[in-house]
Structure 1
Amino acid sequence: MSELSMNKDSYPHKISQDNPKGLKNPWVLGWLALVAVVLVVNIGFISLAFITNPGLVDEDYYENAEDYEENLVKYRTARAALGWTYQAAFPNNPVINKKTPYRLTIVDKAGLPLTAAKVKLIAYRPSDASADFEIALSEVDAGIYEADVTYSLKGIWEITTVIEREDSKYDFKRRASIVTE
């Protein structure tokens, strides 16, 4: 009998699909372990994303973006019409858990100190919404506003300063990198 005419039962070894030893092969075990590790890691990352979600996305982000785009020219025109200018003495690299003075000098269109304004500083931490805070700056002299600010976490913070007087509003943003000593 030639080799070509031999049937399946006459082979000395079973073919690989029927061989129970195939699952004991280190290559097969390695691939199965790799697939299992990838699945476990993905499940872990997805769970971590849901558990630690800081909620930094605005609920109405699309509507707010449309509103901003439609009213951008109005905002710029109103801001220019105010004519307010400021000089901010904000530190570049405040130290964590250390009081840091923030000073803001504001003048109006005529170059006179802007008095009786409400000035607040809003500190926004992009990676942790629970650390966000706002603090009011007090008017210490005509057109000069100050506050001591303490940051509880190191890293990058977005600082928005809002100036309001009567029905007028002016704001600007800065970025701060909080460091350890």
Structure 2
Amino acid sequence: MYTSQTKLNLIQATIDLIMKHGLEKLTINKVIKKAESSKGSFYYYFSNIDDLMKEAFLYSLNHSLVEFSYCNERSFQENINLFGHHLIQTSKKKSSEHAIMFLWISKCFQDENYKKQFQAMRKQIIEENTVSKELQKIFQVDIKWLYMFDIIIIGFLVHCILHDDEDVLLSIWQQIVNIMILNKV
């Protein structure tokens, strides 16, 4: 019987292989070998390698956010400031989650197929990730605001790589938050 653990093993094997060899050298055979799985298991969960890579991207996105949750006792602004701190911390870990996301995004500039797949995942990426769901549920943020927030996060993560000084990054984030708060709805 197939389990969700099998699916997770296939996704994690994909992430490991992409981190080691890049997107171009990824094959179904390499994934199932790394995951110690079978082709039957692979095709039970995924229709093809592109489907698996999309799942790996979405898993990486949500996994990079899983350690953060909003606190009802804190204000919207305090929660967003804490989220910025979380982004700084996760970027300093040089996590594979961020690397997978940026590899996929960069591939969209080179390959029309990746771009189309990425565009098809837009709602999942921006509106349905764990942080967005909490923002909508707890603070009733507007969907347009989530799209603006996503754009800011991507740019901020790049700056987390450029700056080593956490205080500078926190200061930048707080300035961004102040502007975002004014445009919350």
Question: What TM-score do the two structures reach when normalised by structure 1?
Answer: 0.23
Larger RCO, structures 1/2 (Cα 8 Å, 6+ apart): 2
| Bigger strand share | 1
When normalised by structure 2's length, the TM-score is 0.23
